[in-house]
Amino acid sequence: MPTWAELVFLLCAVGFILALKGLSGPRTARVGNLVGAGAAVVACVVPFFYADLDHVALILVAIVIGTAIGAVGAQRVQMTQMPQLVALFNGVGGGAAALVALLELEHFADATDVGVDVPAAYLVATAFTILVGAVSFSGSVVTFAKLQELMTSRPVVPPGLAFAFAGSLLAALVLAGVLIDEPVVWVGVALALVGLLLGVLLVLPVGGADVPIVISLLNAFTGLTVAAGGYVLQNTVLLVAGTLVGASGTFLTLLMAGAMGRSVANILFGALKGGSTLGSGEASDRPVRSATPEDVAILLGYAERVIVVPGYGLAVAQAQHTLRELVEVLGARGTEVDYAIHPVAGRMPGHMNVLLAEAQVPYEQLKEMDDINGDFRQTDVVLVVGANDVVNPAARTTPSAPIYGMPILDVDQARQVVFLKRSMRPGFAGIENELLFEPQTTLLFGDAKDTLGKLLTAVKSL
């Protein structure tokens, strides 16, 4: 590799680091994203100018197809479908790393046949990339299917799953050992197949609100495989990029698990002893107090302090612009309004922040859970729009609940609570929310966008 190419790759690696730094704040996230994308494009283009590439036509066709798919996806994928898209991206990255490692394994096998000694470290990295990349690919496909409702979001625990997982893991370790001892292509293929099975078995018993955490974990897996692949290929850009993704994905997984009040092991294997969130459940037929938009408008009109709790239902209804306009009208009337953001609101970290930023909501109004929880006692009205599990008191009061121990927004301490809900179906965790039946709670049924529109009209007419 010529010196100029190494320097360009170094600059691309620096670009990835700066991109990650930019993504750490809402004001710099867009620029950070563009810097990272630009660095990736440059890193992909540079080999065309120094390397003696084979099958250039096929490479260009693949780039055109991938670019077209990405452009169409960027335009058509809704914000509510972003977790599914992230899951697919994770899977594609892990699968690509595993395929590249299999190709390198073929080269190592050819080198061994002619008496060349391949360093053991390369073989260890190759076996790791094949196994973990395959796990990431198949596991991400299952998470996509769960979130897209192509299969049940409830935990799937067939008889003997624990033994099948343990046996597959043992087989994977044995095959990896054989591969490290002697690089043989068929052993690598067998290792990849076992990895695909492990990925499926790993994700099947995960249900409900735990699925986004598994996406983050698989993202970390993909990053680690890319880093290992970069070591095998002696490619600094891949090594740096993979390390950044692996490290950030690992931290994000731990932070999300902490926000759920559970360990990563419990999230992955809790269903084997009944500890996973359940997924979709049955609608309750218990009586609740409901109201009209005009009734709620009067309640908001006399409130001095209002807190809005957004959730996945807000994203589904695409009601963020109407909600922002309602908050602006209340603010113009002298009402103090903030948004309370739970760390796992929606179905991925930052989902609500991005959704509200898209609607031009001032970032100063977005308050993290730890910063705003103490304000609920002095709040006149809490407006819950599409959230459920993150305000469910069962997390504090019901040890048998799958979300027990999860830190929640203390909405139940407010003077009045208004829930905007489409129906009485439970949240993603699959359990009833007792707050819905409390005397200070009022329900406003209907599509969030339509209901907020009527509420906005009623507030303006006060």
Active-site residue, from 389, 412, 447, 450: 389
Catalytic-residue membership of 389: yes
Distant-in-sequence, close-in-space partners of 103: CB < 8 Å, separation ≥ 6: none
Distant-in-sequence, close-in-space partners of 4: CB < 8 Å, separation ≥ 6: 50
Q: Is 341 helix (H, G, I), strand (E, B) or coil?
A: strand
Region for residue 158 given its phi and psi (left: phi exceeds 0; alpha: psi -120 to 50; beta: otherwise): beta
| DSSP string across 146-187 | HHTTSS-SS----TTHHHHHHHHHHHHHHHHHHHHHS--HHH
Distant-in-sequence, close-in-space partners of 315: CB < 8 Å, separation ≥ 6: 79, 80, 346, 351, 352, 355, 386
Query: Taking Cα atoms as reference points, which of 82, 24, 35, 113 lies closest to residue 346?
Result: 82
Residues 188, 354: Cα–Cα separation, whole Å: 41
Backbone angles phi, psi at 4, to 5 degrees: -60, -35
Q: What share of the chain is helix, strand, coil (3-state, %, to 5)?
A: 65, 5, 30
Residues 117, 182: Cα–Cα separation, whole Å: 10
CA 55 to chain centre: 36
| E strand or H helix that includes residue 367 | strand 366-368
Q: Where are the beta strands (DSSP E) in 261-364?
A: 305-310, 336-341
Tokens of 246: 């692996």
Tokens of 144: 């996509």
How large is the C-alpha radius of gyration of the chain? 25
Give the number of residues written for the chain. Answer: 462
| Catalytically active residues, by annotation | 389
